[in-house]
Amino acid sequence: MSSLAAASTTALSDIDPPTFADIEAAAERLKGKARLTPILESTLLNEKLGGRLLIKAEVLQRSGSFKFRGAYNRIALIPPAERQRGVVAYSSGNHAQGVAYAARLFGIKAWIVMPADAPKIKIANTRAYGAEVVTYDRYNENREAIGERLTKEKGATIVRPFDDPGLIAGQGTIGLETAAQLKQMDATADAFIAPCSGGGLIAGCALALEAKSPQTKAYAAEPAGFEDLKLSLEAGRRLENPPGARSFCDALLSPWPGEITFKVHKRLLGGSFAVTDTQVQHAMATAFEYFKIVVEPGGACGLAAVMTGQLPIKGRTVVVVCSGGNVDPATFAAALAAQ
């Protein structure tokens, strides 16, 4: 199926990933809406690492993370009459804020299902953008079931957090932008890495890089205990995380890779790396020290994979997406204090 707008009513297994043309179309829709986020570089850190590290700073995106891109693009694809009935989303926080802010720009209602233990800043911002927040217990309740019930009750359209070609195309604009920025810098990237939960971000970026920077290999990074993509890539099929794992990377706790996204992962990714909470804390502190940016735990996983040497950088150029900056002050202060 090629229709991006039909994703909410068709079985996920029957939906094809977006094409590069879909990503280019998403970039046109996002002009004047999403920010062109900068690529940051530190001479001192490059000297320490023995390579060239480039940070795609999506912490500076509207709503504080890359999620705004996909949310806006997906909502734009809803037929106007249906769009006026509003949207429903489920999220630990960044997709919630992205959907809430995008819905506000479209002047429509948004109902967002969020875990009760989500960072307070994410819940507060989602409400501040005008969305109605419905909380749930992430360990004992099913957010998808709650979201589907709300969708039927409200007559709204579901906007999934990753397994939707419209979402994936929107997130892929990061890869498109990165390729253009590298060209302007007269630079060639050997590797590109982004944090991964359900995998919409890295799937979209991998598709964009395949078209615009084919020499750049795409990778993912996940919290230890939630490395379902790593295990799935090794097995060649989608696997679920074992129960009981915990991580402070609240944005990256999806139990398995998406159905649509994994079709891209299998074909284009060079692998995925698992990083511990301690390693992520170090990456958060590194981003603050060398790039002067605040990165939330989930947003720092890609940087952690580079800093631990899992993704080699010596003698190479590596682009890392720091995907979000929505972190509670106490969590960020603890990461800095741990160094």
Q: Give the confidence band of 243 by pLDDT, cuts at 50, 70, 90.
A: confident
* Cα separation, 106 vs 218, whole angstroms: 33
Q: Which of 3-7, 21-25, 110-114, 259-263 has the lowest mean pLDDT?
A: 3-7
For residues 170 and 290, the answer to whether their CB atoms sit within 8 Å is: no
Cα angle 50-270-72, degrees, rounded to a multiple of 5: 100
For residues 173 and 27, the answer to whether their CB atoms sit within 8 Å is: yes
For 249-301, write each residue's pLDDT tens digit.
Answer: 999 999 999 999 999 999 999 999 999 999 999 999 999 999 999 999 999 99
User: Do 4-65+164-337 and 68-158 show the same overall fold?
Assistant: yes
Segment 186-191 mean pLDDT: 98
Return the pLDDT at 11: 85
Residue 41, number of CB atoms within 10 A of its CB: 15
* Cα separation, 173 vs 120, whole angstroms: 29
Three-class SS state of 321: strand
The residue among 259, 299, 253, 298 whose CA lies nearest residue 139 is: 253
- Domain 68-158 fold: Rossmann fold (3.40.50)
Q: Give the H/E segment covering residue 52.
A: strand 52-57
Q: Running DSSP on this structure, what letter comes out for residue 228?
A: H
Half-sphere exposure of residue 113: CA atoms within 13 angstroms, side-chain side: 22
Q: Give the confidence band of 191 by pLDDT, cuts at 50, 70, 90.
A: very high
Distance of CA 164 to the CA centre of its chain: 13
Q: What is the largest CA-CA distance in the chain?
A: 57
The residue among 232, 235, 220 whose CA lies nearest residue 262 is: 232
Bigger pLDDT: 165 vs 339: 165
Segment 47-51 mean pLDDT: 98
7: which 2 tokens? 């994703």
Return the pLDDT at 138: 87
* Cα separation, 208 vs 52, whole angstroms: 21
Give the pairing of strands 110-115 and 39-40.
unpaired
Return the pLDDT at 172: 98
Return the pLDDT at 7: 53
Q: Give the H/E segment covering residue 273.
A: strand 269-275
Where in the chain are the domains? 4-65+164-337, 68-158
* Cα separation, 144 vs 142, whole angstroms: 6
300: which 2 tokens? 């720092």
Alpha-carbon torsion 237, 243, 247, 251, what sign? positive
Residue 276, number of CB atoms within 10 A of its CB: 15
Whose tokens are 């696997």? That residue is: 239
Return the pLDDT at 148: 93
Residue 109, number of CB atoms within 10 A of its CB: 17
Query: Does the 4-65+164-337 domain belong in CATH 3.90.550.10?
Result: no
* Cα separation, 103 vs 99, whole angstroms: 6
Which residues are marked as active site? Answer: 67, 323
